[in-house]
């Protein structure tokens, strides 16, 4: 049976499958030198950059195009009704897309650059903020609450055996099925993602980044969402706009519900008007993605960089524990403590052993790291401008309230 847009969408499926097989082969080669430990991970990256530079670059950019091509192919299959006329291919494309995306999420932090370590902590804290199994999931992927040998080893096993091996099995199955059925595909469209990946590998290479510090491994820091995470980042921020404690709804609940809906679509879309409303949902989803990139695209990390966003240079100036000359104001501190609870700060942060374990870091000792009340006020007004892309703005507070909250945070010196 001939399917609509078969040559184009078949080429997309074939290209993702071939990219995945190539990723498995290059990944196996790179795994020979990779050390999944806090001390050895970044050293492994440097070894790869010297001895396996070309292989590392090919692995990095093919992963980029595997995720991108998979997303575009699934949207095309949704638009042309493959969920109705070719359910097996639809389910295979969804499974492969989720596994390829999961491989990117679990594999991106493994070199343990500064941004990678912060990303691991941030993602684990977001998972831990979900009710029910959230805290247990966080404790499993981040034992001890820090990035250490145990946590890195678990991320590596997830990347290697769950998402990596899983995507390889689905890809091989698709390749065998398409070969046996002699499914016609567009050759140029099949080769385009592969050619672009190889071109960028040769001209741009794989980004290096800087090694994670002890503070990055223990407390984390500001992160910039990767391009493939921008839509979920937008959902998280929009959910936080309703309530700071609802970030998990946008980051976890809505994407999970959409994935379940996509797999169930062949059973749900049986009516006469199903293709119409499904296309309408597809257009709405595409619009959400466009709006997400329009609003938050400037905050994302470039695919050609592993640089970690830096919080204002005041954070790094002077010596740790240096405070501005202004003395602490007890009245403002008490008002700030009340605001800290009223504004739901403990829904994302912990302080003195009380509050949530994520998605924000613990605030014990935060006053010893940031030198002035004015810095805190500026940060609270616009966290994203200073690197904390996940934190909601508190610019709606009055100047008096912002200064009081800043004074309370400035007073937290004990670590």
pLDDT tens digit sequence for 130-154: 888 888 998 898 888 889 999 999 9
pLDDT at 414: 66
pLDDT band at 385 (very low <50, low <70, confident <90, very high): low
User: Are 254 and 398 in a shared domain?
Assistant: no
CB-CB contact of 347 with 356 (8 Å): yes
Grade residue 43 by pLDDT with cuts at 50, 70 and 90. very high
Q: Rounded CA gap, 32 and 9, in Å?
A: 35
List Cα–Cα distances, 378 to 125, 158, 299, in angstroms.
Answer: 24, 39, 18
Report if residue 308 sits inside a domain. no
Q: Is residue 54 part of a domain?
A: yes
Q: Based on the fold, state whether residues 324 and 226 are members of the same structural domain.
A: no
> Is the pTM value of this prediction over 0.75?
yes
Are 205 and 295 contained in the same domain? yes
Share of the chain above pLDDT 90, in %: 49
pLDDT (tens digit per residue) in 332-342? 888 988 888 88
The domain that contains 399 carries what CATH number? 2.60.40.420
What is the rounded distance in angstroms from the CA atom of residue 91 to the CA atom of residue 47?
39
Instruction: Indicate whether 91 and 210 sit together in one domain.
Output: yes
User: Is 415 inside a domain boundary?
Assistant: no
Q: Are residues 292 and 319 in the same domain?
A: no
Q: How far is CA 211 from CA 39, 43, 119, 188, 307, in A?
A: 10, 9, 13, 40, 10
Question: Using one digit for the tens of pLDDT, what is the confidence trace for 68-99?
Answer: 999 999 999 999 999 999 999 999 999 999 99
Q: Beta-carbon neighbour count of residue 235 at 10 Å?
A: 21
Evaluate whether residue 305 is within a structural domain: no
Give Cα 159 distance to the centre of its chain: 14
Distances (CA, A) of 371 to 29, 376, 411: 47, 9, 10
Last residue of a domain, one of 299, 332, 358: 299
Whether 363 maps to a domain, the answer reads yes
Check whether residue 224 and residue 347 sit in a common domain: no
Do 290 and 329 fall within a single domain? no
pLDDT of residue 358: 63
Closest CA to 168 of 305, 19, 280: 19
1 part of a folded domain: no
pLDDT value at residue 49: 87
Q: 343 with 239, same domain?
A: no
Question: What Å distances lie between residue 384 and 79, 283, 389, 390, CA to CA?
Answer: 35, 29, 4, 7
Find which of 117-121, 131-135, 194-198 is predicted with most confidence, using mean pLDDT: 194-198
pLDDT of residue 1: 60
Please classify residue 414 by burial: count the beta carbons closer than 10 Å to its beta carbon, then call 0-12 exposed, 13-18 middle and 19+ buried. exposed
350 has which bridge partners? 355
Q: Examine the domain organization and report whether 319 and 294 are in the same domain.
A: no
Range of weakest confidence among 181-190, 325-334, 373-382? 325-334
* Number of structural domains found in the chain: 2
DSSP 92-140: HHHHHHHHHHHHHHHHTTTT-BHHHHHHHHHHHHHHHTSSTTHHHHHHH
In a domain, 132, yes or no: yes
Which of 299, 321, 350 is the C-terminal boundary of a domain? 299
Rg (CA), the chain: 23
Where in the sequence is the domain holding 324, given as residue range(s)?
313-410
The pLDDT, as a whole number, for residue 312 is 43
Q: Are 121 and 361 a contacting pair, CB within 8 Å?
A: yes
Taking only the tens place, the pLDDT of each residue in 252-301 is 999 999 999 999 999 998 888 899 999 999 999 999 999 999 999 988 88
Do 356 and 260 share a structural domain?
A: no
The pLDDT score that the predictor gives to residue 34 is 94
Q: Residue 314 contacts by C-beta under 8 Å, 6 or more apart in sequence?
A: 370, 371, 372, 375
> What is the overall mean pLDDT for the chain?
87
Q: Which of the listed residues 274, 299, 324 is the one where a domain comes to its end? A: 299
307 domain-assigned = no
We report the CATH number of the domain holding residue 113 as 1.20.810.10
Give the pLDDT confidence score for residue 321 in this predicted structure: 38
202 and 258 share one domain: yes
**Domain identity same for 85 and 174:** yes
Beta bridge partners of 327: none
Contact 245, 230 (CB under 8 A): no
In this model, does residue 65 exceed pLDDT 90? yes
């Amino acid at each position: 049976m001939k399917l609509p847009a078969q040559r184009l969408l078949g080429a997309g499926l074939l290209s993702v499958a071939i990219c995945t097989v190539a990723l498995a082969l290059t990944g196996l080669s790179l795994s020979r030198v990779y050390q999944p430990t806090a001390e050895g991970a970044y050293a492994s990256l440097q070894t790869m950059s010297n001895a396996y530079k070309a292989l590392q670059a090919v692995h990095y950019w093919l992963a980029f195009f595997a995720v991108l091509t998979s997303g575009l192919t699934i949207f095309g299959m949704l638009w042309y009704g493959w969920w109705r006329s070719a359910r097996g291919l639809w389910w295979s494309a969804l499974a492969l897309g989720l596994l390829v995306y999961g491989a990117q999420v679990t594999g991106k932090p493994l070199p343990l650059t500064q941004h990678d370590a912060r990303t691991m902590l941030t993602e684990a804290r977001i998972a831990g903020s979900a009710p029910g199994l959230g805290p247990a999931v966080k404790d499993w992927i981040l034992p001890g609450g820090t990035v250490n040998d145990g946590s890195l080893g678990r991320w590596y096993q997830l990347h290697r055996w769950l998402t990596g091996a899983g995507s390889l099995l689905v890809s091989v199955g698709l390749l065998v099925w398409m070969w046996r059925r002699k499914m016609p595909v567009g050759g140029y469209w099949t080769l385009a993602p592969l050619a672009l990946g190889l071109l960028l590998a040769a001209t741009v290479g794989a980004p290096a980044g800087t090694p994670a510090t002890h503070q990055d491994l223990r407390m984390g820091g500001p992160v910039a969402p990767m391009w493939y995470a921008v839509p979920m980042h937008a959902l998280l921020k929009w959910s936080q706009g309703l309530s700071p404690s609802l970030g998990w709804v946008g980051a976890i609940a809505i994407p999970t519900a959409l994935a379940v809906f996509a797999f169930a679509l062949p059973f749900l879309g049986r009516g006469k008007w199903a293709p119409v409303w499904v296309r309408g949902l597809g257009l709405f989803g595409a619009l959400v993605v466009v709006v997400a990139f329009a609003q938050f695209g400037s905050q994302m990390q470039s695919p050609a960089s592993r640089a970690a966003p830096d919080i204002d240079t005041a954070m790094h100036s002077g010596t740790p524990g240096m405070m501005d000359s202004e003395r602490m104001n007890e009245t403002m501190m008490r008002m700030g403590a009340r605001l800290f609870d009223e504004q739901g700060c403990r829904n994302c942060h912990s302080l003195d052993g009380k509050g949530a374990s994520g998605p924000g870091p613990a605030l014990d000792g935060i006053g010893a790291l940031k030198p002035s009340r004015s810095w805190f006020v500026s940060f609270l007004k616009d966290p994203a401008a200073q690197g904390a892309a996940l934190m909601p703005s508190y610019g709606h507070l009055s100047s008096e309230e912002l200064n009081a909250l800043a004074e309370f945070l400035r007073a937290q010196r004990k670590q």
